[in-house]
Copies of this chain bind each other. A is one copy, B any other.
């Protein structure tokens, strides 16, 4: 494994010149450049990023914090982040926190130890205090999730409006008894989605039935099954369910079928996120599509700008209601 000194020696030039060739600087004669390139070829030289990174005080790595890799919600966002990052010569380190502070801390430490240049957080459970503190000294962007009152730049969609539109759709196709399967309201987006739900009902003069709202600790399949089980046992059973994640909705689907009922004839179901799998279920799921890929690229762009010291502003993106069989048959 050759280093820059050996290349310089072999090419009969100084290390500065080799470095100039490496970094495509223009002040190098064509002849010199060729000599250097031959030496590089001959010695099979690859510049070490360890040396470069130390000298430049950067790692060219960005951290992407997610609660779990198993949630398909993050796929497209991650792809967006990754492609943008790669195009700017950054690599991304995917960090599964399992929503545990201990694991978060491991990755925060990577930042503190200069092993990473910044963080894109998609973890709603993230330790807000620590994040705020870190944001004072390091580049941090929140993507899709964001806490209120922090001056950390974020990119997200209008959750309240999206929720409103989903419920509105159910009302428009004739539903009055609509259940909301929400996540814990310690999360801002959960509160926003409940508000959208309430606004849609109110607007149509439908009274709010508190029994129709359930809260789950996580947004997974099993939680959807459990919540649906309870809903099915209600005295005045709803005819529609709006779940704030596709996985919840898919759990609901399975439970409804297990009870011998039909979707959407007996109960209509709407999910949220448009994960790949939402199209694979039977029936295919009506759901709210967030512009995930775009969200990813924008978040990455924002982060890299921030790393480079530019000022960045938060962004709110549009969304789309994708109507499929689980509401229209």
Contacts and interface: CB of A to CB of B under 8 A. Distances in A.
Contacts of A82: 96
Contact of A50 (B59, B72, B78, B109): B59
B49 A114 contact: yes
A interface majority secondary structure: helix
A280 B257 contact: no
B96 A79 contact: yes
A279 to B, nearest CB: 8
Contacts of A72: 70, 72
A9 B137 CA distance: 24
A101 interface: no
Interface in A51-85: 51, 53-54, 57, 59-61, 69-70, 72, 75, 78-79, 82
Nearest to A58: B50
Interface in A84-116: 86, 91-94, 96, 106, 109-110, 112-115
Nearest to A86: B106
A93 B91 contact: yes
B93 A92 contact: yes
Interface in A114-166: 114-115, 137
